[in-house]
Amino acid sequence: MIPANPTERDGRFLLNKVPEVTLVFWIIKIMSTTVGETGADYLAVHVGLGTSITTAITVSLLLVALVWQISTRRYVPAIYWLTVVLISVVGTQLTDFLTDKLDISLYVSTCAFAVILAATFAIWYARERTLSIHTIVTTRRELFYWTAILFTFALGTAAGDLATEALSLGFNLGVVIFGALIAVITLAYYLGANAVLTFWLAYILTRPLGASLGDLLSQARDYGGLGFGTIYTSIAFLTVIVLLVAILSANDGQKSAQAKARSA
């Protein structure tokens, strides 16, 4: 049985590899989903790479980032959030590939990703007896974690596209609906609902919220957007993400220095 806060005395256990769930965590998460939506569209459509080439490039970059992330023995803000941004792009591309290239219905892909994510959680819990992000202290748990993250992005993309496009709710209403659902889950958490369940539900819903927000900002006015374009929306959100991650990195460095000073 792996303890909640294991030591590294036998070399197998790591420090927790996931950041604290704070307001900054959710801001970066939502913005990374927006970048995943607008960034993927920019590379595939405006640069002209197409879905297949864009997917190949982003998957390669994600694999490099994952190896880098998993090879670290503690949470490093820059590496962690780079991985999240790239996995957001890949999750978006995965859904878009099924829809655009294989002509698979968004109803089917949404249901399929929901089943795959549920299976991931079931296997994860069966092996580890916990789905808490506060105990990502072994490589196996981290692999389960990132697998779940990938499918939350894919599911969120499919569900968001289903709501805003197939069901014709539009970007404005999509932002309102998904924002309201997250607010309900947040209220449920503060009223005593299970912390692990509410976290993962909110994590899934931030994907369609971020995608709807990205489409609202980037799409042309004729299509219900504000017309800022994918490149400017992506740059703006990436800039904020980089600034926030820089602040987190500075704070993390200060904490590490203080910890070393106390142990000296």
Q: What is the pLDDT of residues 75-106, one digit of tens each?
A: 899 999 999 999 988 888 888 888 878 899 99
User: CB under 8 Å to 140, separation ≥6 — which residues?
Assistant: 127, 128
pLDDT exceeds 90 at position 15? no
CA–CA gap between residue 49 and residue 10 (Å, rounded): 47
Q: What is the mean pLDDT of the chain?
A: 85
Give the model's pLDDT for residue 262: 64
> pLDDT value at position 7?
39
Token pair of 102 as six digits: 């294989």
Closest among 60, 116, 53 to 86, alpha carbons compared: 60
What is residue 258's predicted lDDT score, i.e. its pLDDT? 61
User: What is the average per-residue pLDDT within 31-45?
Assistant: 77
Q: Tokens representing 197?
A: 């369940």
DSSP label at residue 19: -
pLDDT tens per residue, range 173-185? 888 999 999 999 9
pTM score: 0.86
pLDDT confidence tier of residue 54, bands split at 50, 70 and 90: confident
The DSSP output letter for 191 is T
Q: Is the pLDDT of residue 3 over 70?
A: no
Average pLDDT of the segment spanning 189-193: 95
pLDDT for the residue numbered 92: 82
When pLDDT is averaged across residues 233-241 and rounded to a whole number, the result is 88
Query: Where are the extended beta strands (E) located within the chain?
Result: none
pLDDT, tens only, 141-152: 999 999 999 999
Q: What is the pLDDT of residue 260?
A: 63
Q: What is the mean pLDDT of residues 9-17?
A: 56
Q: With 80 as the cut, is the pLDDT of residue 14 above it?
A: no
